[in-house]
Structure 1
Amino acid sequence: MTQANSSPALTGTPRSAGRRRLLMAFGVGMTLTLSGCGFQLRGVDSAPMAITQLDVNSSNSETHRTLREALERADIDLSDNAPLKLNLGKVSEKVHQITWGDAGSIKRELTYHLVYSVQRKSDGAYLANQQELEANSYYYTNDDSLLNSDEVRERAGQENNSELSRQLLERLHTIKP
């Protein structure tokens, strides 16, 4: 009489197939859930930007240099002969102290505010007039380390510049010349 031994490899096959189906169903469910709520990965845009050339009118501040670099990275040619002009206003900077007292470190909010407009050169029409961008960041300072405070504030300013660049590119993406 022969006795049938079930091998572990054969017994695990239906179980692993069930796990695989469960993981696939979970993946499909998560995909549908995230797409239903409007979730999108940043930087994954199917439509290219309609603006390919800009004449940028701005001062020579660190924020304006960062914005110009972001435009160039987005494959926008910055040229005096461009059909559209981007007018970047002066960046207003505000520091607001959040915490008070002798607790050691002080929390501060750094806010950058920038007004811009996009104008067609051929007829002077505004495609975006007096639009506002704003970026906030928080940082902590300590009276015991003044050099470190300058570095921390500078990093907060860089974060704001990056955020202003992201917002500007997002807004320019919606403009159809």
Structure 2
Amino acid sequence: MKRRTFLKSLGVIATGVAMGGLAGCGFHLRGQGEPLGFDRLTLTAPIGELTDSVRRELANADVMLVDDAPLRVNLGPENIQEYTLTAGDTGTQEIELRLTAPFSVQRTRDGAYLLDQQRIEVVTTYLANDDDLLVLGDLREQALEDLRREAARQLLSRLRSLDTP
């Protein structure tokens, strides 16, 4: 019994050392933190929270939003769909939120589409309890904020794949 406990402890220590080594060596997921290949962009988008999230992610990637950039991202309005996944009307409900938004990318000099009309789609779920009705709105808003942030990251990931002019 003592040997089994020792081996488990050894495994936990080895995992911790490996994780610490990865964190210290600059390890990051592919596509995260890589440069976009351009430093200026024109964004055509409706006023809204998704647009705000995209602007923040672009700023974090050191991309300036200007009117005369070589590329233009056309971002459409977000569409939020909400589904209840749990059967029944009482107790804890699992709710799925799905955010979709159309977008395209054009070269501004000739209007050519580098990415024709595409869609960003992100999904999350959260648990809503009938006993905590005051918290329900906060849970939904936090889930929507997370969806918008993830949608913005997904858009930037697709922009990284472009051959820029």
Name which of 76, 79, 91 aligns with 1:104.
Answer: 91
* 1:51 and 1:175 in contact (8 A); partners too: no
TM-score normalised by length of structure 2? 0.78
User: Which residue in 2 is equivalent to 1:115?
Assistant: 102
**Aligned to 2:82, what secondary structure does the other structure show?**
strand
Q: Alpha carbons of 1:126 and 1:44: their partners in 2 closer, same or farther (altered >3 Å)?
A: closer
Identity of aligned residues (%): 35
Unpaired stretches in structure 2, ≥5 consecutive residues: 1-13
Structure with the greater alpha carbon radius of gyration: 1
TM-score normalised by length of structure 1? 0.73
Distance (whole Å) between structure 2 residues aligned to residue 67 and residue 74 of structure 1: 11
- Could you say which structure has the greater relative contact order, defined with CA pairs below 8 angstroms and 6 or more residues apart? 2
Distance (whole Å) between structure 2 residues aligned to residue 48 and residue 58 of structure 1: 23
Distance (whole Å) between structure 1 residues aligned to residue 32 and residue 75 of structure 2: 25
Distance (whole Å) between structure 1 residues aligned to residue 57 and residue 31 of structure 2: 17
Residues 49-87 of structure 1: per-residue CA shift (max 9 Å, x gap): 212211100111111101111011101110011111110
Deviates more, 1:77-86 or 1:44-53: 44-53
Residues 27-54 of structure 1: per-residue CA shift (max 9 Å, x gap): 7xxx9xxxxxxxx732676963212211
Unpaired stretches in structure 1, ≥5 consecutive residues: 1-22, 32-39
Distance (whole Å) between structure 2 residues aligned to residue 46 and residue 96 of structure 1: 33
